[in-house]
Amino acid sequence: MLLFVSQDAHEFLIFLLNELVDILEKEVQAAKDDTESSSLPPERTTNGSKVTQADDIHKEPLVTWVHKKFQGILTNETRCLRCETVTARDEIFLDLSLDIEQNSSITSCLKNFSSIETLNADDKFFCDKCCSLQEAQKRMKIKKPPQILVIQLKRFNYIEQLGRNKKLSYRVAFPLELKLIDYVEEADAVYSLFAVVVHMGSGSSHGHYVSLIKSHHHWLFFDDENVEMIDESAVQTFFGSAQEYSSNTDHGYILFYERDVTNNHD
Amino acid sequence: MINSSNGMMSASSSSSAAGAGGNAPSPGLKTYFKAPEGRYKLHYEKGHPSGLMHYVQGKTATQATVAIVKDKPSPPTPLSQPSSGFSASSGVKSAAAKLLGGSNGSRTFGFVGGNGGSKNLSGSSKLGPFSSNSTNSNLALNFDGKGTYLIFNMGDGLFISDLNSQDKEPMKAIYFNNVYPVCHAFDQDAKDGHDLLIGLSTGDVYSVSLGQQLQDSGKKLVGAQHYNKDGSVNNSRCTCISWVPGGDGAFVVAHADGNMYVYEKSKEGAGDSSFPAIKDPTQFSIAHARHSKSNPITRWHTCQGSINGIAFSSDGTHLATVGRDGYLRVFDYPKEELICGGKSYYGALLCCAWSADGKYILAGGEDDLVQIWSMDDKKVVAWGEGHNSWVSGVAFDSSWSPPDTENSEQIVYRFGSVGQDTQLLLWDLQMEEIVVPQRRPPGGSPTFSSGSQTAQWDNATPLGTLQSAPSMRDIPKISPLVIHRVHTEPLSGLIFTEESILTVCREGHTKVWMRPGTPASQGSSNSETPLSTSLKDKPLLSSIK
Ligand SMILES: [Zn+2]
């Protein structure tokens, strides 16, 4: 797979999560093999003791803590404009990658993400009921919001004319508190921002990553081995540049929001 | 194996879905916009002196104040503090000379200066050759400075522009040297000389006479009274400042730590200004100064985190605050009581404003919504949806009157909002037309009733209860009449004047949009040609592969 940036932080995150799932699955499998092939007495616990229900896991797909923390469900709804049939397809996701616009907000990017898109011309939809290509309306809904919402801002876009990726320095405001409409529980999910991966540099193939992490009610700025405390209001300085040519090259790239369970009134 | 949603997302979040007012990468700013009542036209722009900034960029967001200086029947009373820094010799009228043009041209303010072109007047920093130490207090007494001024901060400077002049550069610049003026307020009915308040990033506060600043040729604040010196009472950043309407020189300063202080300008700031410790920082509390000589006289602890905006109702009986915690709070100011309030949909609230009749409050913030709070219903009655980023300024247009309608008894409000999306939005609020979806009966579809009939919902709420965030389904939405991209930088404020709408961007630029029907809006100073091509520019960027 081609990397968008020489060492893209988002690529790495996805790699890491997948690798974790792999390891966890192998661990469970090994533990299961162990208990199945072993003639050891049951009271002797092993390292894999947390997986006691090995038989159940064998039947159902394994739900690791990676899934529990990061996985959400999207519904891709397509409505055929001829027969009005709605086709809904659920998809799981570990993160959302959002197109960005200059001087916008995460709220606005999410709105665009879930906005209705019309499929027509060369991009028609094959309707099973009509048995033909038809014009249709498509919409992405977040059906089940994840525990940890990871948002990647698509700052590295491929420019055909240039034949390479270009970094978009757009200013995208991200609030400390965010909501997603929860279609399952009918109560909107409240999220709090707790970490930001910042890309520094003007190009897409070079630069430097730093991160902002909220720990014990304080925001910390991590730059390699240097860690310093910053004021909450300084988070805003990583929104991006309101104008294309700006000396500010430090831009929020990956946002981590955690669902707030205490703030879940009615 | 889990797949990242990455690839899958690209298709559905293509920027083609951006909708109205999408921000094209290249600026396509038009010099007019159309509203139902006619065409608003860009009359001129006001900025800070060129070649300033950059190193100060992003430190502060510009706020703007319009100061209408009326004829003053009696000369300003000299203040308790000697006007030590006061300057302007008889030959040096500097910027003040220009102000008198038109109304009081016969006064003795002939402009004297080596290179007396009008250009010289803009930016007092250029008045260096003039001596600035000789005093002539008679001049102050004669000065009336009648006119309309735009006061705004940018970096460590405070700037004053003549709003009736086309000059882009300000006529007066005052520098604070490495501290930042962040908020200001003007009292056009001030009884004695001090009519302008300035709050700093250090928490310090000054009151001064605007006229006196305009006469002075230096770059420093002159004749100022200093409060909260070196942050001795509160060293957190000032966030907003306001005179108390009808408050006889009382004013309120809000800080980034959730406290507000009431000062009296006539009172010397001497003596012990200590307040009891705040027992519960999560609760609203009032504390009066321990000593009678203290100035500030009262501390209002309103919330945790920054207070981002305050606004008095025009009669001074109510005070609204918004802040970091996302709550709008409404206080009975004379009684020092919290009456009501509520949470944003999410995120901090950044700005608030009252309708002239005190019935509605607008609040805007980080959920991109303009919320309309009804004082009768004590709740949010509508959300204005239309901004693509945080809402940074809201205001009712008190000069606006609805076009001739058959049912003239129906009250319609016009208001505006500006956001970090660089857009100005205009809205009409007509409560009878707003349909409030009621709480859904389980499993049923929403039922509807007219807005005025739903008031009984929360009447049982005890005084001072703050409402939690409403659900998206429970609040009716209204759409803007006008969406106009006015600047290239995020906006920080808007002001309605009788003749115009002023839009202010964070980086210190103000645009003056003349109302339809005003002489200037029909003039020819600006052609109707857009400054550059329209918003139809095709996006250069293709989506990720
Ligand atoms: Zn069909």
**SS3 letters across chain A:** CCCCCCCCHHHHHHHHHHHHHHHHHHHHHHHHHHHHHCCCCCCCCCHHHHCCCHHHHHHCCCCCHHHHHHCEEEEEEEEECCCCCEEEEEEEECCEEECCCCCEEHHHHHHHHCCCEEECHHHCEEECCCCEEECEEEEEEEEECCCEEEEEECCEEEECCCCEEEECCECEECCCEEEECCCCCCCCEEEEEEEEEEEECCCCCCCEEEEEEEECCEEEEEECCEEEEECHHHHHHHCCECCCCCCCCEEEEEEEEEECCCCCCC
Contact list in B for residue A115 (CB cut-off 8 A) is 17, 19
Please answer yes or no on whether A247 and B8 come within 8 Å at the CB atom. no
* pLDDT at B63 > cutoff 50: yes
Q: Using CB atoms, which residue from B5, B420, B468 is nearest to A94?
A: B5
Cβ atoms of residues B201 and B178 within 8 Å = no
Q: Encoding tokens for residue B138?
A: 């008679």
Rounded to 5 degrees, φ, ψ at B11 are: -65, -45
A257 vs A3: CA distance, rounded Å = 25
Whether A115 sits inside 8 A of B4 (CB atoms) is: no
State whether A115 and B19 contact (CB < 8 Å).
yes
Q: B393: helix, coil or strand? A: strand
Q: Identify the pLDDT of residue A160.
A: 79
**How far is B389 from A101, CA to CA, in rounded Å?**
10
Q: Which residue of A has its CA nearest to B485?
A: A103
What is the residue type of B428? Answer: D
Beta-carbon pairs below 8 A across chains A and B:
167
Q: What would the pLDDT profile of A90-134 be if each residue is shown by its tens digit?
A: 999 999 999 999 999 999 999 999 999 999 888 899 999 999 999
- Asked if pLDDT for residue B227 goes beyond 70, the answer is yes
Shortest Cα–Cα distance, A153 to chain B (Å): 11
Which H, E and C letters describe B133-153, residue by residue? CCCCHHHHHHCCCCEEEEEEE
DSSP state of B126: G
Task: Answer yes or no: do B544 and A14 touch at CB < 8 A.
Answer: no
Contact check, Cβ <8 Å, A10/B540: no
What is the CB-side half-sphere exposure of residue B336 using CA atoms within 13 A?
A: 14
Average pLDDT for B424-435? 83
Total Cβ atoms within 10 A of residue B510 = 27
How remote is the CA of residue A117 from the centroid of ligand 1, in Å?
A: 16
Question: Lowest-confidence range among A161-170, A171-180, B324-333, B383-392?
Answer: A161-170
pLDDT for position B443? 37
Average pLDDT over residues B252-275: 87
Nearest CA in chain B to A238: B58
CA distance B545 to chain A (A): 6
Comparing alpha-carbon positions, the chain B residue that sits nearest to A177 is B347
3-state secondary structure of B45: strand
B12 sits in which H/E element: helix B6-12
Q: Any idea what DSSP says for residue B129? A: T
Give me the pLDDT at residue B374, please: 95
| pLDDT > 50? residue B314 | yes
Using the beta-carbon criterion (under 8 Å), do B9 and A98 form an inter-chain contact? yes
Any residues with CB less than 8 A from the CB of B121 and at least 6 apart, and which? Answer: B94, B95, B97, B98, B111, B167, B171
Give the closest of B5, B17, B58 to A93, CB-based: B5
Instruction: Provide the residue type at A204 as one letter.
Output: S
Write the single-letter amino acid at B368: D
Query: What CA–CA distance (Å, rounded) separates A133 from A121?
Result: 10
Please list every residue in chain B whose beta carbon sits closer than 8 Å to the beta carbon of residue A4. 544
Q: Which of A32-41, A50-59, B225-234, B408-417 has the lowest mean pLDDT?
A: A50-59
Residues B366, A103: C-beta atoms closer than 8 Å: no
Distance A84 CA to ligand 1 centre (A): 6
Rounded Cα distance, B411 and B360, in Å: 12
Instruction: Look at residue A38 and tell me whether its pLDDT is greater than 60.
Output: no
Angle value at C-alpha B248, between B245 and B249, nearest 5 degrees: 90
Contacts of A33 (CB under 8 A, 6+ apart): none
Q: What count of Cα atoms within 13 Å lies in the side-chain half-sphere of residue B176? A: 22
* Contacts B15 to A, Cβ<8 Å: 99, 101, 112
Smallest Cα–Cα separation from A140: which of A202, A73, A208, A191? A73
The reported pTM is 0.80
Most confident option among A12-26, A37-51, B212-226, B323-337: B323-337
Two tokens at A172?
């995208």
Give percent of chain A above pLDDT 70. 85
Best residue in B54, B55, B306, B346 to probe A by mutation, most A CBs within 10 Å? B346
Handedness of CA B395, B400, B401, B404 (dihedral sign): negative
Q: How far is A32 from chain B (nearest CA, A)?
A: 19
Distance from CA of B50 to the nearest CA of A (A): 17
Q: What pLDDT does B404 receive? A: 65
Distance B10 CA to ligand 1 centre (A): 25
pLDDT at B72 (0 to 100): 56
Alpha carbon of A24: minimum distance to chain B alpha carbons (Å): 11
Q: In the predicted model, what is the mean pLDDT of residues A49-58?
A: 43
Collect all residues of chain A within an 8 Å Cβ-Cβ radius of residue B6. 10, 14, 95, 97, 152
The residue that leads in pLDDT, B53 or B490, is B490
B465 vs A209: which has the higher pLDDT: A209
Distance from CA of A13 to the nearest CA of B (A): 10
| A88 C-alpha to ligand 1 centroid (Å) | 13
- How close does chain A come to B326, measured CA to CA in Å? 9
Yes or no, beta carbons of A95 and B18 under 8 Å apart:
no
Would the CB atoms of B544 and A105 count as touching at under 8 Å?
no
Best mutation target among B14, B53, B304, B366 (most A Cβ atoms within 10 Å) is: B366
Report the C-alpha gap between B217 and B198 in whole angstroms. 19
Q: Look at A71 and B10 and tell me if their CB atoms are within 8 Å.
A: no
Confidence of residue A190 (pLDDT cuts 50, 70, 90): very high
B320 touches B311 (CB < 8 A): yes
pLDDT at residue number B462? 67
How many Cα atoms are found within 13 Å in the side-chain-facing hemisphere of B183? Answer: 23
Rounded to a whole number of angstroms, the distance from the CA of B106 to the nearest CA of chain A is 47
For B449-501, write each residue's pLDDT tens digit: 333 333 344 445 566 789 999 988 889 999 999 999 999 999 999 999 999 99
Model confidence at B52, pLDDT cuts 50, 70, 90, reads low
Residue scoring higher pLDDT (B148 or A204): B148
Measured between beta carbons, which residues in chain B are less than 8 angstroms from residue A171?
420, 490
Q: Is residue B399 within 8 Å of B497, Cβ to Cβ?
A: yes
Which residue of chain A has the CA closest to B325?
A: A177
One-letter-per-residue 3-state SS of B52-63: CCCCCCCCCCCC
Please give the distance, rounded to the nearest whole angstrom, from the Cα atom of residue A132 to the centre of ligand 1.
8
Q: Residue B406: is it exposed, middle or buried by C-beta count within 10 angstroms (0-12/13-18/19+)?
A: exposed
Please state, in angstroms and rounded to a whole number, the distance separating the CA atoms of residues B185 and A161: 51
pLDDT of residue B436: 58
Q: In this structure, are residues A148 and A259 in contact, taking their beta carbons and an 8 Å threshold?
A: yes
Task: Say yes or no for a CB contact (<8 Å) between A159 and B541.
Answer: yes
Q: Give the closest-approach CA distance of B302 to chain A in angstroms.
A: 19
pLDDT band at B11 (very low <50, low <70, confident <90, very high): very low
Q: Characterize the bridge pairing of strands A172-173 and A104-105.
A: parallel
Asked whether the predicted pLDDT for residue A230 surpasses 80, the reply is: yes
How far, in Å, are A12, A174, A209, A243, B149 from residue A254 at the CA level? 12, 11, 11, 21, 44
B490–A171 CB contact, under 8 Å: yes
Q: What is the rounded CA–CA span in Å between residue B98 and residue B163?
A: 12
Specify the pLDDT at position B371.
97
Name the percent of chain B lying above pLDDT 90. 53
pLDDT at B102: 33
Contacts of A104 in chain B (CB under 8 A): 23, 388-389, 421
Would you state the pLDDT for residue B24?
37
A244 contacts in chain B (CB < 8 Å) = 25
Disruptive mutation site among B390, B422, B423, B545 for chain A (greatest number of A CBs within 10 Å)? B390
Name the closest residue on chain B to residue A117, using Cα atoms: B17
Rounded to the nearest angstrom, the gap between the alpha carbon of residue A120 and the centroid of all alpha carbons in its chain is 29
> Which of B216, B172, B221 is CA-nearest to residue B67?
B172
- According to the model, what pLDDT value does residue B51 have? 64
What pLDDT sits at residue B433?
66
Phi and psi based region of residue B178 (left: phi greater than 0; alpha: psi -120 to 50; beta: remaining): left
**pLDDT reading at B142 higher than 80:** no
Nearest Cβ partner for A103 among B4, B421, B541: B421
> Which structure tokens are listed for A251?
């831009």
Of residues A79 and B537, more confidently modeled: A79
Structure tokens at B80: 């308790």
The pLDDT, as a whole number, for residue A132 is 92
Lookup: tokens for B486: 């006015």
**What is the pLDDT, as a whole number, of residue A43?**
44
- Record: contact B490-A103, CB cut-off 8 A: yes
Q: Which residue of A has its CA nearest to B2?
A: A18
- Say which residue the tokens 């004021």 belong to: A231
Q: How far is CA B255 from CA B202, B261, B269, in A?
A: 10, 8, 18
Mean pLDDT of A23-49: 65
- For residue B352, what are the β-bridge partners? B363
Answer yes or no: are the C-beta atoms of A223 and A210 closer than 8 Å. Answer: yes
Check A67 against B544: CB less than 8 A apart.
Answer: no
Chain A nearest-CA distance from B15, in A, is 6
Q: Measured in angstroms, how far is the CA atom of residue A120 from the centroid of ligand 1?
A: 13
Q: What angle do CA B127, B130, B131 make, to 5 degrees?
A: 135
Indicate yes or no: CB of A96 within 8 angstroms of CB of B5: yes
* A79 CA → ligand 1 middle, Å: 8
Report the residue of chain A nearest B506, measured CA to CA: A242
